[in-house]
A and B are shown apart, each in its own frame.
Chain A
Amino acid sequence: MLSRTADHLYWMARYIERAENLARMLDVNNRMLLLPQSEHEITRLWRETLDSIGLLETYTATHADISPSSVVHFMALDRTNPGSIYSCLRAARENAHAVRGTLTAELWETINATWLDLRGYDIKKMGADELDGFFEWVKLRSHQSRGVTFATMTRDESNSFLRLGTFIERADNTARILDVKYNFISEAPRREASGEYYQWSALLHSVSAFETYRRTYRDQITPARVAELLILRMDMPRSLAYCTSEMERFLSQVCNSRSAETQRRAGELASSLRYGRLEDILDTCVHAYLTRFIIRVNDIGNRLAADFMLPATV
């Protein structure tokens, strides 16, 4: 496969996954806002959210203050913000367009139709009750793209690069979502236990893990178990352990003469999660652990690009 094709497929999948996770992030924040809390707390939540995805500076450069509605607009449909859902879906569509011949007609049309529909949304005219529906729509279209990929794409390199994009992005995003929420909830002023319950359950909902949590633990929600579920559980499809294990698997399917070191690092990272212990993570502090994890995932992403997508001419 052409290196450029691999690059477009990989980024197409990453941008779709990123759009979905942005929708999840905004969704969980909106849910958390429904809980009684101070103005200051609300501002802190949005500031940390922007910071976690590296958009705080871009935001404050163009906005005087942090209000929920302006942050939501900025992150969802602001065309000038390269990190918005709008921009991600546009980038996904541009990448798909560049390799439309490699995609099945169904997959191309799904992504193109998503883009055409997105242009019909006007979030400024959307009431708070409609925002939910918009985030649901973004998630649904992402599910649909993945479903069509699963059902129609040949299981060759193209599929592997698509899946690599999905899992690298998801590993990164899950870590960021968990990091910002874990920090926010544990640093919040002491409140009733029931208040914390809602915070944690909102987080679990945002990564489609609430039911899994209930089924797995059949017990009350505790921060340690949430961390375990989202970091170490192999049966949880958005956990770091699952994502890194899929990264390792798909990387082994495309290996070439330059990629040995990248594979080794991916294997090392996946093993550290597969055999990792919760106590060790909690001991070193979750924030420090997740920060280091994000760096390692991005290192693998960069190496992947160097090995397969920008190869030397000789």
Chain B
Amino acid sequence: MAASGRFFDEMNSAEGVLRTHYQAYVEWFDGISSDRMARKRQEAGTLFHRSGITFAVYGDEAGAERLIPFDVIPRVIPAREWDTLAAGLRQRVKALNAFIHDIYHGQEILRAGHIPADQVLRNAQYRPEMQGVDVPRDIYAAIAGVDLVRAGAGEFYVLEDNLRVPSGVSYMIENRKMMMRLFPELFARHRVAPVEHYPDLLLDTLRAVAPKSVPDPTVVVLTPGSFNSAYFEHAFLAQQMGVELVEGKDLFVRDEQVFMRTTQGPQRVDVIYRRIDDDFLDPLAFRPDSMLGVPGLLSAYRAGNVALSNAIGTGVADDKSIYPYVGDMVRFYLGEEPLLNNVPTYMLRKPDDLAYVLAHLPELVVKEVHGAGGYGMLVGPASTRAQIEEFRARILAAPEKYIAQPTLALSTCPTFVESGIAPRHIDLRPFVLSGNEVRFVPGGLTRVALKEGSLVVNSSQGGGTKDTWVLED
């Protein structure tokens, strides 16, 4: 399982020496026949298919469901490394929550001049409806999915803070269950930190952000429905927490209170873990054509009679145009130096940055400020001249819609591919829960770009996943 050398490899050092935290795994692996491994990999596919752990792909034939490719070689993180990351994540999410609270209240950070007010207040994700609205415990992003990548020398960077409806946590848990089923002996040889209790922590978190007056809050998960790409996850989390999985049509609002329609009549709902974007939550307040939402939900929410997780209006804080300021938020709200690095970012609304970026497009990654899911981006080194020129025209038409970053040499991890085992680029999405305190399960979801040389790990773009081990020494 050799590394390519140009990138930081999780398993092997540049000199080709096996890293200590992979030693026991590789010893075990070398003792497994390739036949058995092939059988196990096939078994994983069959089991995922049978249990319907699939995702729907937009644009495919109606109702088509695909498996997210699962790679059986785990991504291993030594516990000491994880502890450093965990401290950084805790700090970052605290600062982000403080920022969201601030911009909907006193706007201190804008008045202190750390972030141009226009960048925030004119952002499409800024929700004026939230001004002056108090949310329980001042927590807006109770569930955050922070995307981390590792670059050339092994240092971690935050690529993106997902504060709206981050997904993928169910795959983190199912991947672990699959590994334990396929290779139980591996877990006897390693001290792998468990992750399956995530739904317990999530339920605890959701109950902690319930309206204060409710002693025993009723929690529900709100899904767009069974044709949504992440429906499996919605059903999974509701089931694991033992709460109802509702669609918009199951809820209604009366006297600024939210109820669900049950066989025994209306039942009050206190906390909604919503997996629907802001725009679709309430046709009376946002998009009037939304069939997914609940008419009147915003009024109940503003009255403090129901909690939404995440809160409305968190999108402004994970917007790519705000991302460059997260370090400033940490300093401003917590008085600390940021523990996690941001990727250096050029903001193309600034003339100097724009000029630099236009002169260096083949080396850079350019992203739409409001894009997500790996759509609407240019990876310079992997693009043809024609693609670069096409993107140049788009940038020139509206430079303020773009940011650019150096192309990071994302770390690699050995992965099964058609030709055998080869290094493929990976990222890591830990899920950070903020309730009474900030908590998480060790690790997160490792996504892997299965195409050779590809840096795009999104499942919608042909990415796969791996089990992620935080390994005690």
Residues on A lying within 8 angstroms of B by beta carbon are 1-6, 94, 97-102, 105, 108-109, 112-113, 116, 157, 161, 254, 256-257, 308-309, 311, 313-314
Contacts and interface: CB of A to CB of B under 8 A. Distances in A.
A113 B48 CA distance: 11
Contact of B263 (A100, A109, A308): A308
Contacts of B265: 256-257, 311
Contacts of B264: 1, 256
A2 B239 contact: no
Given A100-B235, A256-B264, A314-B254, A4 B247 contact: yes
Contacts of B400: none
Interface string B222-253: 00011000000001101100001111011010
Contacts of B261: 2-4, 311, 313
A4 B51 contact: no
A314 B52 CA distance: 36
Contact of A98 (B226, B239, B244, B263): B226
Chain B contact surface mostly: mixed
Report the interface size class on chain B.
Answer: 20 to 34
B263 A3 contact: yes
Contacts of A2: 244, 246, 250, 260-263
Interface string B35-52: 000000000000001111
Contact of A108 (B51, B244, B250): B51
A254 to B, nearest CB: 6
A102 B243 CA distance: 10
Nearest to B264: A256
B263 A108 contact: no
Contacts, number: 66
Given A101-B238, A108-B52, A313 B263 contact: no
B50 A109 contact: yes
Contact of A113 (B50, B244, B263): B50
Nearest to B225: A98
B381 interface: no
A110 to B, nearest CB: 10
Closest 9 CB pairs of A and B: A101-B239, A101-B235, A308-B263, A3-B261, A101-B238, A98-B226, A313-B252, A100-B235, A112-B52
Given A101-B239, A256-B264, A308-B263, A3 B250 contact: yes
B106 interface: no
Interface in B42-90: 49-52
A100 B239 CA distance: 8
B51 A112 contact: yes
Contacts of A256: 263-265
Nearest to A313: B252
B437 to A, nearest CB: 28
A105 B264 CA distance: 26
Contacts of B236: 101
Nearest to A111: B52
A116 to B, nearest CB: 7
B263 A6 contact: yes
Contacts of B371: none
B238 A254 contact: no
Contact of A105 (B51, B225, B244, B263): B51
A314 B246 CA distance: 18
Interface of B: 49-52, 225-226, 235-236, 238-239, 244-247, 249-250, 252, 254, 260-266
B266 A314 contact: yes
Nearest to A314: B254
A203 to B, nearest CB: 37
Contacts of B225: 98
Given A1-B263, A2-B262, A311-B261, 8 more contacts: A2-B261, A3-B261, A97-B226, A109-B51, A256-B264, A256-B265, A311-B263, A313-B254
Nearest to B237: A101
A44 to B, nearest CB: 39
Interface centre among A98, A112, A257, A314 (most CB of B within 10 A): A98
Contacts of A3: 250, 261-263
A2 B267 CA distance: 9
Given A97-B52, A100-B52, A313 B266 contact: yes
Interface centre among B51, B236, B249 (most CB of A within 10 A): B51
13 contacts: A1-B263, A4-B247, A4-B249, A100-B239, A109-B50, A109-B51, A109-B52, A116-B49, A254-B263, A257-B265, A309-B263, A311-B262, A314-B266
Nearest to B260: A2
A308 B264 CA distance: 7
A113 B245 CA distance: 23
A313 B52 CA distance: 33
Nearest to B240: A101
A5 B235 CA distance: 12
Contacts of B226: 94, 97-98
Contacts of A4: 247, 249-250, 261
Contacts of A116: 49-50
A64 B312 CA distance: 59
A101 B245 contact: yes
B377 to A, nearest CB: 33
B376 to A, nearest CB: 31
A308 B262 CA distance: 8
A77 B235 CA distance: 30
A5 B261 CA distance: 10
A283 B261 CA distance: 47
A257 B246 CA distance: 23
A309 B239 CA distance: 21
Contacts of A314: 254, 266
A303 to B, nearest CB: 14
Given A97-B226, A101-B239, A313-B266, A112 B260 contact: no
Contacts of B260: 2
